[in-house]
């Protein structure tokens, strides 16, 4: 089948799997896609398994302002044809936390240039681009990737700045990345504690809570 026929088949399956209650709930929470079928993630994984990875198909799906299409795009995009400039285009198009988290999980973390992109994106001023950088870093750190001294210093500077910023999603993603880093070893846990000690008494209660949650996650290593 050509791309047009594949899209038609996918849309048919999405309509058959539509969850109106979930879709309505997402709309009420501000997720204003052009179209949202409310299909649960396990079902989307089942649909993706029925198709081979296909660059043209994934690119076409991503361009649609449809929740399920964007999620499936990350599942169906081949790694070898997903060049860095395409990754930048995709990340600039992300405006919802769910898409950021799932695209990092299903695609971005497997890219050969993922470490470089994580640092590039976390230094960006746009909230969702920055958050994708931290989410990607969290995925890589969870797999045991190590940082040299220079990279660690940059990571800490960016993470602390994000934690103290007013951007909620960036703060949440930075918190996750710092936690993953702290969980690598006793040494990294100590470094994260020292970093947070620089801002021992942040005034914002949400930030205080983030700091405390990070400490609680990693303190058993000390």
The H or E element spanning position 168 is helix 168-182
In a domain? residue 123: no
Domain that holds residue 11: 1-78
User: Position of tokens 């500077």?
Assistant: 157
Task: Name every residue whose Cβ is closer than 8 Å to that of residue 125 and which is 6 or more positions away in sequence.
Answer: none
In a domain? residue 57: yes
Do 73 and 61 touch, CB atoms closer than 8 A? yes
pLDDT at 90: 98
Q: Tokens in use for 61?
A: 């799906």
Do 180 and 145 touch, CB atoms closer than 8 A? no
Among candidates 52, 61, 113, 53, which has minimal Cα distance to 90? 61
pLDDT at 46: 97
Query: DSSP label at 81?
Result: T
In a domain? residue 26: yes
In a domain? residue 139: no
In a domain? residue 109: no
How far is Cα of residue 106 from the mean position of the Cα atoms in its chain?
9
pLDDT at 26: 79
Query: How does pLDDT run along the chain (222 residues), one tens digit per residue?
Result: 899 999 999 999 999 998 888 778 778 777 778 888 899 999 999 999 999 999 999 999 999 999 999 999 999 999 999 999 999 999 999 999 999 999 999 999 999 999 999 999 999 999 999 999 999 999 999 999 999 999 999 999 999 999 999 999 999 999 999 999 999 999 999 999 999 988 766 677 888 889 999 999 999 887
**Total domains present in the chain:** 1
In a domain? residue 214: no
Q: What count of residues does the chain have?
A: 222
- In the chain, the N- to C-terminal Cα span, in Å, equals 57
Do 214 and 175 touch, CB atoms closer than 8 A? yes
CA distance 21 to 93: 26
Q: What is the mean pLDDT of the chain?
A: 93
pLDDT at 177: 98
Q: Tokens in use for 58?
A: 């994934």
CA distance 209 to 192: 15
**Phi/psi of residue 35, nearest 5 degrees:** -145, 135
In a domain? residue 1: yes
Helix (H, G, I), strand (E, B) or coil at 193: helix
Q: Point out which residues pair with 66 in neighbouring strands.
A: 35
Helix (H, G, I), strand (E, B) or coil at 27: helix
pLDDT at 214: 95
In a domain? residue 195: no
**Phi/psi of residue 193, nearest 5 degrees:** -60, -40
CA distance 17 to 45: 12
């Amino acid at each position: 089948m050509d791309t047009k026929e594949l899209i038609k088949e996918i849309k048919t399956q999405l309509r058959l799997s539509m969850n109106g209650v979930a879709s309505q709930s997402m709309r009420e929470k501000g997720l204003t896609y052009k179209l949202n079928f409310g299909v649960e993630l396990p079902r989307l994984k089942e649909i993706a398994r029925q198709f081979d990875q296909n660059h043209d198909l994934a690119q076409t799906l991503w361009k649609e302002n449809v929740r399920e299409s964007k999620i499936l795009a990350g599942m169906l995009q081949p790694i070898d044809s997903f060049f860095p400039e395409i990754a930048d285009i995709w990340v600039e198009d992300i405006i919802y936390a769910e898409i950021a988290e799932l695209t990092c999980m299903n695609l971005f973390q497997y890219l050969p240039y993922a470490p470089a992109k994580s640092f590039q994106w976390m230094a960006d001023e746009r909230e969702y681009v920055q958050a994708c950088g931290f989410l990607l870093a969290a995925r890589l750190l969870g797999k045991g990737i190590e940082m040299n001294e220079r990279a660690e210093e940059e990571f800490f500077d960016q993470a602390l700045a994000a934690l103290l910023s007013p951007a909620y999603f960036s703060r949440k993603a930075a918190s996750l990345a710092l936690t993953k880093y702290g969980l690598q070893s006793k040494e990294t846990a100590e470094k994260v504690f020292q970093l947070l000690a620089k801002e021992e008494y942040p005034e914002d209660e949400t930030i205080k809570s983030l700091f405390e949650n990070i400490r609680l996650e990693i303190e058993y290593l000390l």
